[in-house]
Amino acid sequence: MEVKLVAVAAVISNKQLKKIMKRLLIVLLVVFTAIINAQEKKDSIAVNRTAYKKKVLDNVEVNFLYSNYLQNGSHAAVTGGVGDEKLTDNTPAILINIPLNADAILSVDFGVDFTTSASTDQINPFAVAVTGGGEGDDRDKSGTTSSKSSALLKTSASTGGGDDGPPAHARKHGSLTYTHTSDNRTFSWGVDGAFSSEQGYNSVGAGIQFRKSFNNDNSEINFNSSAYFDKLDLIYPGEFRTSEGLSPSVGFKLLDLNHRNSFSAALSFSQMLNKRMQISFSADIIYQEGLLSTNYQRVYFKDKPIETVNNIELAHDVERLPSTRSKHPFGMRFNYAVSDVIILRTFYRYYSDDWGVSANTYDIQVPLKLSKSFTVYPMYRHHSQQQSTYFAPKSSHKSTETFYTSDYDLSTFSSSQYGVGFTIAPPLGIFKLDTSNAGNPFRFKSFDIRYNYYSRSDGLKANILSLNAQFSF
Amino acid sequence: MNKMRKIMIIMLFAGLITSSCSSVKAYERAKLNDKEMALSPKLSARYELQFHTYREAASGANGGKTGGGCGCN
């Protein structure tokens, strides 16, 4: 009865939240439109920009992006908040900006993430234990298997391997964006479509964006909104699959949702303060609904005994989280050209959501322009967050709770990230590849490489190397 | 929603302050037009933003992606 009342209350509050969000979006759009209209006349009188119309983009630009990410930790959510979090991710990507005419640009973006993760093969460790030989067989011989293991072994053997596939997997992602700029260059709009696809998870999305500059380009307002529609395959930990011959924990209920939708609206305002300083403010509203938990992340309760099979602890349940989440980040950037050599780039964000998470993020970069072509930029980032109401470490939740997770990404922690980047961008391009006598020279415009070390107070460490090589022709 | 109201008031207040700033002429923007002065993350930082979104509970308000994709590992 109490659970039902909570559910009804949650539905009502979600409806109210949706109404409030709709109203807020309408207010934002009305304010945005009013500002645009008010400034349009002023700008058209102040500057006659249509006399000479410069192309928004002169040449085709191609960016080759690559990132290598290595992570290590001991709080894998798949194994209930304990276990190896080792993960590697390699992501090559290409972004092409094509000028369609003097006013319009088409951007094509495509990339693939190649990920290997130690926790992935823990989703169904029973299949690995049998087909992988070695470790699994030794465990069985040690006499620690329970009465459930014989059925388990038969099923796994007959499948010929783990049905989760190898631990490595790929995520393909891409987007297509069309942007159009007005004749006087003070207004632009754009639309985009995006997709991402990985094993058991597919997403499509679409978005719109508007930009308006005014006050002789000293001020600018941006508005963008997007929606993503994700479909999930419900993959449960091995002990919850009847095909493994195990009896799931008493009272286990299958998840009833297999979609996740995300809607966002972002409004930002930027302003030149003087010849050396500029500032921007941005506020987002993000609303998600559907299955917001990860269906193969385990939870162990403190009021139930843990049973083992082949030394593998059988979970009591999978992570369960509310079906809606509303996020409210507010960000601010301030950049200052201290001298001809030193630039200060700063960013601050305050974040809160209705899962009880609040966070502060600070970021500072100091690009040093050592010559016209070469810039080195040391950087530091600090993040601290308060945990979600639904988080607790392994064996700390009670089975009577409605929502629970042991995912340390939702825990209280602080993180520090520091690193350095180098940018080479000579005026005539790298290696002076500009050999053309026509209007479309091929240029290796710039090369940017950066490395960062990330350390979280719960012990998670990561290294990330990223680079971007930009060409134009 | 009280927090959102506060944020909107701060944004409005900030807008009022900044609109009173001195106008910077186009020929005075050499430093402001430097790529390092852009009020957005660098393209090479794209995957850092992505992993922050996955490894931290906070996201958004920095020009990064705010939806789509699992990030389950």
Q: Which chain A residue is nearest to residue B5, measuring alpha carbons?
A: A24
Chain B residue with Cα closest to A277: B32
Measured between beta carbons, which residues in chain B are less than 8 angstroms from residue A215? Answer: 19, 23
Our measurement of the distance from residue B24's CA atom to the centroid of its chain's CA atoms, rounded to an integer in Å, reads: 21
pLDDT over 50 (residue A338): yes
Interface touch A337/B37, C-beta < 8 Å = yes
Q: What is the pLDDT of residue B15?
A: 63
pLDDT band at A150 (very low <50, low <70, confident <90, very high): very low
- How large is the ipTM? 0.79
Average pLDDT, chain A: 83
pLDDT tens track for A185-221: 999 999 999 999 988 889 999 999 999 999 999 999 9
Q: Of A20, A93, A294, which has the smallest distance from its Cβ to B72's Cβ?
A: A294
Chain B partners within 8 Å of A464 (Cβ): 47-48, 51
Q: Looking at residues A130-147, what average pLDDT do you find?
A: 33
**Contact by Cβ (8 Å): A176, A205:** no
CA atoms within 13 A on the CB side of A336: 6
Cβ separation of A120 and B32 shorter than 8 Å? no
CB contact under 8 A, A67 and B60: no
Tell me: pLDDT of A30 over 90.
no
Contacts of A296 in chain B (CB under 8 A): 72
**Would you call B44 and A415 a contact, using CB atoms and an 8 Å cutoff?**
no
- Give the pLDDT score at A387: 96
Q: Are A9 and A402 in contact (CB under 8 A)?
A: no
Is residue A353 predicted with pLDDT exceeding 90? yes
3-state secondary structure of A75: strand
> What pLDDT score does A430 carry?
87
User: Which tokens go with A214?
Assistant: 């005014």
**Per-residue pLDDT for A230 more than 50?**
yes
Contact A349 B62 (CB under 8 A): yes
Residues paired with A279 in a beta bridge: A271, A334
HEC profile of A233-248: CCCCCHHHCHHHCCCC
Q: How many CB pairs under 8 A join A and B?
A: 232
pLDDT of residue A323: 95
User: Do A201 and B48 count as a contact with CB atoms less than 8 A apart?
Assistant: no
Cβ distance of A328 and B47 shorter than 8 Å: no
Answer yes or no: are the C-beta atoms of A228 and A261 closer than 8 Å.
Answer: yes
Which of B1, B11, B36 shows the shortest C-beta gap to A283? Answer: B11
Residue A7 has pLDDT above 60, yes or no: no
Calpha distance A230→B64 (Å, rounded): 18
At residue A127, does pLDDT exceed 90?
no
B36/A343 touch (CB, cutoff 8 Å), yes or no: yes
Gap from A56 CA to chain B (nearest CA, Å): 15
Does B37 sit within 8 Å of A274, measured CB to CB? no
Q: Which DSSP letter does residue A314 get?
A: P
Cα(A103)–Cα(A445) distance, integer angstroms:
22
**Interchain pair B47, A337: CB under 8 A:** no
CA distance A35 to A416: 39
For domain A2-124+164-233+256-290+323-389+412-472, give its CATH number from 2.40.160.40, 1.20.1050.10, 3.40.50.1010, 3.40.1280.10. 2.40.160.40
pLDDT at B31 over 90: yes
Q: Is B73 on the interface with A (CB under 8 A)?
A: yes
Model confidence at A435: pLDDT above 70:
no
pLDDT, tens digit, 9 for 90 and up, residues A387-423: 999 999 999 999 999 999 999 999 999 999 999 999 9
Residue A239 confidence class, pLDDT cut points 50, 70, 90: confident
Instruction: Determine the pLDDT at residue A48.
Output: 52
Is B18's CB within 8 Å of A462's CB?
Answer: no
Determine the residue among B1, B28, B48 to mutate to test chain A binding: the one whose Cβ has the most chain A Cβ atoms within 10 Å: B48
Q: What are phi and psi of A37, to 5 degrees?
A: -65, -40
Residues β-bridged to residue A125: none
pLDDT band of A53, cuts 50, 70, 90: confident
**Distance in Å, alpha carbon of B6 to nearest chain A alpha carbon:** 10
Give dist(CA A286, CA A226) in Å, integer: 9
The residue with greater pLDDT, A51 or A120, is A120
CB contact under 8 A, A327 and B60: yes
Q: Which residues in chain B are contacts of A375 at CB distance < 8 A?
A: 36
**A446-464, pLDDT tens digit by residue?**
999 999 999 999 999 999 9
Percent of chain A with pLDDT over 70: 77
Q: Which of B28, B40, B48 sits opposite A464 (nearest CB)?
A: B48
Task: Output A240 or A360, whichever has higher pLDDT.
Answer: A360
- Give CA–CA dist A264/A327, Å, rounded: 9
- Among the partner-chain residues A385, A425, A462, the one whose CB lies closest to the CB of B57 is A385
Indicate the pLDDT class of residue B13, thresholds 50, 70 and 90.
low
pLDDT in the model for residue A35: 52
- Confidence at residue A418, expressed as pLDDT on a 0 to 100 scale: 97
pLDDT at residue A160 above 60? no
Is pLDDT at A262 greater than 70 in this prediction?
Answer: yes
Residues 24-63 of chain B with CB under 8 A from chain A are 24-26, 28-29, 31-32, 34-40, 42-48, 51-52, 54-63
Q: Which of A126, A123, A121 is nearest to A312 (CA)?
A: A126
% of chain A with per-residue pLDDT over 90: 63
Burial of A20 per CB tally in 10 Å (0-12, 13-18, 19+): middle
Q: Do B18 and A273 touch (CB under 8 A)?
A: yes
Cα atoms found within 13 Å of the Cα of residue A184, Cβ hemisphere only: 18
- Minimal CA separation from B64 to chain A, in Å: 11
Could B58 and A464 be called an inter-chain contact, meaning their C-beta atoms sit closer than 8 Å?
Answer: no
Segment A296-321 mean pLDDT = 91
